[in-house]
A and B are shown apart, each in its own frame.
Chain A
Amino acid sequence: MLLQSIVNGILLGAIYGTIGIGFSLVWGVMNIINVAHGGFIIIGAYLSFAMFNQIGIDPFLSMPIVMLIMFLIGFLIQKTILNYVIRGSVFLTLTLTFGLQILIYNVCLVIWGADYRSIKLAYSAHSFLFGDIVIPSVRLGVFGVAILLTLLFYLFMQKTKTGIAISATALNLEGAKTVGVDVGNIYALTFGISAALAGAAGSMISPIMSFNPFLGNPLIAKAFIIAVLGGLGGTGGALVGGLVLGLVETVGTIYISARYQELLAFSVFILILVVRPQGIIGKRFY
């Protein structure tokens, strides 16, 4: 029972890691809390759902297409809207992304309605058995993709010129400008990558959870918690934050009655913010 919960927690935590990486990237580099991140995940899930329903593409295969679409959406939003207020106060960016979130929510509601949707794959029922532990193959596949994306993102930030330019912009804006980094474009790329990761998380969610437009708000609450747990300290922090949240959610159900879980989660959240605002790992930047 306990072992099974731990396995479930790790499988879930990898998706949370993907959500957290995109969210804390934007926060760390541009100092924007993107409340619309939950909305991006939902759009990703619906895009996968639409492609599966209309032309029968498996969500694992449609994920790159979804990521490309979301990258373009994110890039354009940053270029045409957020770049104009990025030097403004916390309220402006926070309120603006909230406006974006409720707009996305409303658009999804008009197009797809409030019904719960999910993707039922031919191999949904298949699972692997290790002793007493059951691992559904879809969840294992999603886990593998999430870890792969995390790795690719890590390599991108460390090895490519663009990745290094993003880190440089985050660390020292004036310095980055001096050596010829086009900050406006870097910001747009950063936001695009974050949106693409959100879209990928949406594709991952679509075959394993049922979703509707309302799911955006609980997801954004989770993104807050992951970012605060992991700090803004790069790929590792977000992955750890995601895994911790996944484990707490699944293992916690054994020990704590469901009615107090929410209270406990928010209390831990507040405690970490007050005591260790730099997160559990606490390394700054990428």
Chain B
Amino acid sequence: MKKKTILYFAICLILLSLPLITSGFLVRLMTHIFMFIVVSSALNIIAGYAGYAAFGNMMFFGLGAYTTAICMERVGIPFVFSMMLGGFVAVIAAVLFGTLFLRLRGHYFALASLGAAEAVRSIVDNLTELTGGGQGMTISSLDVNPAISNSIFYFAMLLLAVVTVTFVWWLSRSRLGYGLMAIRADEEAASVMGIYTTRSKVIAWSLSALFTGLAGGLYAFWFSYIDPPTVFDVMWVVDMFVIILIGGMGTVIGPVIGAVILEAISEVVWSNFIELHLGILGIIIILSVLFMPKGVVMLARNSKNIGDFLHGIKINREISV
């Protein structure tokens, strides 16, 4: 226990002092990782805990980014409030679409949410006066030198990641969290036990939307340029799913570990074999689904040493048709 405390303390210290020791590349990479921790943890609420494959979650990211940009550039609202409005708009979208879609099961929900995300992208693309359409929007960046601005976004994203992970941790042991896990295990049974299933799922998706929207808002200010193909890209949601699959669905720490692993691999692949980037990502997806469908966290939790770990992989392979 003593050792663990020291380890956690060391990690905190390194995270807090990183922008002071180094700058540039590493700080930006870490900010990226924090952002993926936020959006993947948010997806984990609906996908990992409630068991609904929300393949349209990038719509909240895009809505958050665009709301923030429009509020800052067209209305002149300060960033923090704009970002909160971004989260709010994402929640409204989740409530609207959720009431319609969350009665659908399995693939039908996945497809409906994907279709909704494409429809929202198309609307944003067509509201040219407000959003600039396909030309995108430029957001005036912070008026400080790049090193300081990098550190500011590093700490902002770190804060958002800590808040999100803490929230998911709280959720996982709350009444709502247990309700969601019951829905994942058996929806009929959960309903019989007195859980309002549709309402719980809509709340779960709205919470997911809130954090994804906030991350989108922060992304818009950080990158200071957004356009529909970038912020509504389906690859966002694929990355999120891969992260929670690698880390472990329905665990608090899974998305954190998954984000670190995937982004570190992506970084290495990007810088060395840029033209093979997607192919290698594809192979990673196939292998991780095949050999550890429950994620690193679950495998590690159930195995004391490397032998157990490999045995766990073998058992997963043997449960076939």
Which positions in A face B, CB cutoff 8 Å?
27, 31, 33, 81, 83-92, 94-96, 98-107, 109-110, 183-184, 187, 217, 221, 224, 228, 259-260, 262-263, 266-267, 269-270, 273-274, 277
Contact = CB atoms under 8 A, between A and B. Distances in A.
A99 B319 contact: no
A94 B110 contact: yes
Given A90-B106, A274-B100, A95 B111 contact: no
Contact of B47 (A83, A91, A277): A91
A262 B126 CA distance: 10
Interface string B213-250: 00000000000000000000010001001100100010
A190 to B, nearest CB: 12
Interface string B104-144: 10111011101110110011011000000000000000000
B286 A96 contact: yes
A87 B241 contact: no
A263 B53 contact: no
A55 to B, nearest CB: 28
Given A103-B286, A266-B118, A273 B107 contact: no
Contact of B289 (A96, A187, A273, A277): A96
B252 to A, nearest CB: 18
B293 interface: yes
A262 B245 CA distance: 31
Interface stretch (B63-71, B192-200, B274-282): B274-282
Interface string B85-109: 0000000000000001100101110
Contacts of B283: 99, 103
A81 B241 CA distance: 19
B276 A110 contact: yes
Contacts of B242: 95, 99
Contacts, number: 134
B293 to A, nearest CB: 5
A95 B292 CA distance: 13
Nearest to A27: B107
23 contacts: A84-B317, A87-B321, A89-B51, A90-B53, A91-B245, A91-B249, A92-B245, A94-B55, A96-B286, A99-B242, A99-B282, A100-B282, A101-B282, A107-B279, A110-B275, A224-B111, A259-B126, A266-B115, A266-B122, A269-B115, A270-B115, A277-B104, A277-B108
B321 A263 contact: no
B261 interface: no
A219 B285 CA distance: 22
A224 B117 CA distance: 14
B290 interface: yes
A98 B289 CA distance: 11
B111 A33 contact: yes
A262 B118 contact: yes
A110 B277 CA distance: 11
A179 to B, nearest CB: 16
A84 B286 CA distance: 11
Interface string B33-72: 0000000000000010001010100000000000000000
Contact of A98 (B285, B319, B320): B285
A85 B293 contact: yes
Contacts of A224: 111, 114-115
Which of B51, B116, B122 gathers the greatest number of chain A CB atoms within 10 Å?
Answer: B122
Contact of A102 (B110, B112, B116, B282): B282
A87 B318 CA distance: 12
A184 B321 contact: yes
A187 B241 contact: no
A263 B282 contact: no
Given A91-B249, A107-B279, A83 B321 contact: yes
Contact of A85 (B100, B281, B289): B289
A95 to B, nearest CB: 5
Nearest to A225: B115
Contacts of A183: 321
A98 B282 CA distance: 8
Contacts of B278: 102-103, 105-106, 109
A184 B321 CA distance: 6
Contacts of A109: 275, 278
B279 A91 contact: no
B290 A85 contact: yes
Contact of A95 (B114, B245, B276, B319): B245
Which of A87, A90, A184, A228 gathers the greatest number of chain B CB atoms within 10 Å?
Answer: A90
Contacts of B321: 83, 86-87, 183-184, 187
B257 to A, nearest CB: 17
Given A95-B242, A263-B123, A273 B115 contact: yes
Contacts of B110: 33, 90, 94
